[in-house]
Amino acid sequence: MTNVVANRHAGRLAIVTGAGSGLGKATAERLAAEGARVACVDIALASATSTADGIGDAAKALQCDVSDPASVTACVEHAVAWLGNINLAVTCAGIGTLAHSHELEFAEWKRILDVNLTGTFLIAQAAVKQMLVGGGGRIVTIASNAGLMGQPFSAAYCASKGGVVNLTRALADEYIKRGITVNCVAPGGIDTPLQGAFAQSLPEGTSWKDMRKSMTPLGNSQPEEVASVVAFIASDEARYMTGSIVSIDGGLTL
Ligand SMILES: NC(=O)c1ccc[n+]([C@@H]2O[C@H](COP(=O)([O-])OP(=O)(O)OC[C@H]3O[C@@H](n4cnc5c(N)ncnc54)[C@H](O)[C@@H]3O)[C@@H](O)[C@H]2O)c1
């Protein structure tokens, strides 16, 4: 982990979704290294537990399906019982597959929208309730370069991430006078298991190499680099930022 800022997040009580893998894991680790206590939330409890165990006393694993309102309510209740009022939420949980749009099953469309967009809203909604009681806080959503541009075979993913981008702006505007900032990080080309899910679902007759070429002009990056951007946006140094969409995608959306 590079350039950790000691105690930058001391006193921060955070919930990080998707904390079992990739960007969520790196974000939970980074925030804890900078002094936050972190509820590590994932649908895969074993993965979340592994992240929390790696962090130690400052972390606790919680299982949650972010697309299920009842699951989110129960999870946030557990998080609050452990942490107190949450004052930081980072929504990293996300999924994606590729398919020709004319062949995309409705169930797959719905699954991707439910997790990526509805899941982001449900966690943000629960976090805002906490932040209104506690006097403010920070929300950082995770979109994608695919929320800012078109990408073949990705109708559901692009739609969900475009939704996250404008959901972020809507929440930022709504709560700007209530001490809550809402910003979005839009990564692209980060080496995580999600990249494998895309590669494995590539439609027949298409080339992952060609897709990748269009995806990452500067080559791939690592989750820790995204976590570093999230840690800054979640900090007091970013007080004046809200409603911002911050790309970290190796130049893909120039
Ligand atoms: N890796 C990239 O290049 C890239 C690029 C752009 C955007 N993103 C976005 O970053 C976020 C994190 O992706 P990643 O690359 O770290 O993927 P990842 O697959 O490594 O991690 C995603 C995590 O989310 C969890 N998850 C999935 N469905 C869930 C649900 N319903 N409820 C709770 N948790 C759930 C998974 O169990 C997993 O631990 C996603 O929103 C993804 O769309 C990633």
Q: Domain-by-domain residue ranges, the chain? A: 13-243
What pLDDT shows up at residue 216? 75
Q: Is there a catalytic annotation at residue 157?
A: yes
What pLDDT shows up at residue 205? 85
Distance 193 CA to ligand 1 centre (A): 8
CB atoms within 10 A of CB 239: 9
What pLDDT shows up at residue 140? 99
Query: Tell me, what amino acid is at 151?
Result: Q
What pLDDT shows up at residue 206? 85
CA 154 vs. chain centroid, Å, equals 18
**Whether the CB of 135 sits within 6 Å of ligand 1:** no
Class of the CATH-defined domain 13-243 = alpha beta
Q: How far apart are CA 27 and CA 21, in angstroms?
A: 10
Residue 92 region, left (φ>0) first, then alpha (ψ -120 to 50), else beta? alpha
List the chain pLDDT tens, one digit each, 254 residues: 778 999 999 999 999 999 999 999 999 999 999 999 999 999 999 999 999 999 999 999 999 999 999 999 999 999 999 999 999 999 999 999 999 999 999 999 999 999 999 999 999 999 999 999 999 999 999 999 999 999 999 999 999 999 999 999 999 999 999 999 999 999 999 999 998 898 889 998 888 777 766 667 898 899 999 999 999 999 999 999 999 999 999 999 98
Which residue, 148, 189, 190, 193, is CA-closest to 169?
A: 148
**Whether the CB of 15 sits within 6 Å of ligand 1:** no
**Whether the CB of 242 sits within 6 Å of ligand 1:** no
**Does the global pTM surpass 0.95?**
yes
Q: Which of 16, 67, 72, 92 to mutate to test the pocket of ligand 1 (most atoms within 8 A of CB)?
A: 92
Looking at 24, 93, 115, 157, which residue is catalytic?
Answer: 157
**Whether the CB of 93 sits within 6 Å of ligand 1:** yes
Instruction: Give me the DSSP letters along the chain.
Output: --S--TTTTTT-EEEEETTTSHHHHHHHHHHHHTT-EEEEEESSHHHHHHHHHHH-TTEEEEE--TT-HHHHHHHHHHHHHHHSS--EEEE---------GGG--HHHHHHHHIIIIIHHHHHHHHHHHHHHHHT-EEEEEE--GGGTS--TT-HHHHHHHHHHHHHHHHHHHHTGGGTEEEEEEEE-SB-SHHHHHHHHTPPTT--HHHHHHHH-TT--B-HHHHHHHHHHHTSGGGTT--S-EEEESTTTT-
What pLDDT shows up at residue 10? 98
